[in-house]
């Protein structure tokens, strides 16, 4: 990344020692290392989030392909993605299964598609509704009292 050799580091160290002095130099080094650590942590966090989002996008694309193919004659990669989505849909529905025993899905593809549609409609509703202003929140609190 940076092309800094040994002698450049020695020169920077000597200049820092002369400018900052021996009392403030250790504190400055600790501050710089904390900053570098925070920057690395933030970069790794962003990288992990991007990887997660790409994986979700890939699963959604595979689900669309599977739906278009009618859930028949799927490649092993697509079948694995569909199975993961089915498992995720089942995990989401488990808390509700105890309270609602009468609803069962005969078609797993419809269940997954319904879960995706529901999550998309929830996201669209949440994005369409503006957040209440401070005055609206205060008036709602006053009405509740």
Overall pTM surpassing 0.75 (yes/no): no
Q: What is the pLDDT of residues 122-142, one digit of tens each?
A: 545 444 445 556 666 666 666
pLDDT given at position 47: 96
Query: Which two three-digit tokens encode residue 70?
Result: 């009618």
Cβ neighbors of 116 (< 8 A, separation 6 or more) are 60, 63, 85
C-alpha closest to that of 60 among 79, 92, 85, 93? 85
Q: What is the pLDDT of residues 68-127, one digit of tens each?
A: 776 666 677 777 777 887 787 777 776 665 555 444 445 555 555 665 565 555 545 444
Q: What is the pLDDT of residues 2-39, one digit of tens each?
A: 678 899 989 999 999 999 998 999 999 999 999 999 99
DSSP characters for 37-100?
A: HHHHHHHHHHHHHHHHHHHHHHHHHHHHHHHHTTTSS--HHHHHHHHHHHHHHHHHHHHHHTT-
- Helix and strand numbers (H, E) in the chain are 4, 0
Q: Work out the angle at residue 133's Cα, subtended by the Cα atoms of residues 128 and 138, and round it to the nearest 5 degrees.
A: 130
* Cα Rg of the chain, angstroms: 27
Residue 68, phi-psi category: left (phi > 0), alpha (psi -120 to 50), beta (remainder) = alpha
Contact present, 83 and 59 (Cβ < 8 Å): no
């Amino acid at each position: 990344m940076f092309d800094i050799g040994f002698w450049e580091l020695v020169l920077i160290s000597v200049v820092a020692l002369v400018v900052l002095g021996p009392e403030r130099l250790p504190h400055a080094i600790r501050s710089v290392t904390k900053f570098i650590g925070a920057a690395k942590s933030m970069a790794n966090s962003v990288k992990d989030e991007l990887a997660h989002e790409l994986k979700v996008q890939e699963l959604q694309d595979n689900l669309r392909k599977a739906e278009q193919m009618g859930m028949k004659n799927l490649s092993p990669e697509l079948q694995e993605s569909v199975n993961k989505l089915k498992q995720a849909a089942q995990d989401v529905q488990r808390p509700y299964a105890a309270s609602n025993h009468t609803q069962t899905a005969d078609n797993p593809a419809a269940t997954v598609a319904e879960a995706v549609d529901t999550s998309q409609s929830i996201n669209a509703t949440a994005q369409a509704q503006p957040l209440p202003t401070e005055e609206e929140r205060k008036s709602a609190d006053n009405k509740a009292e």
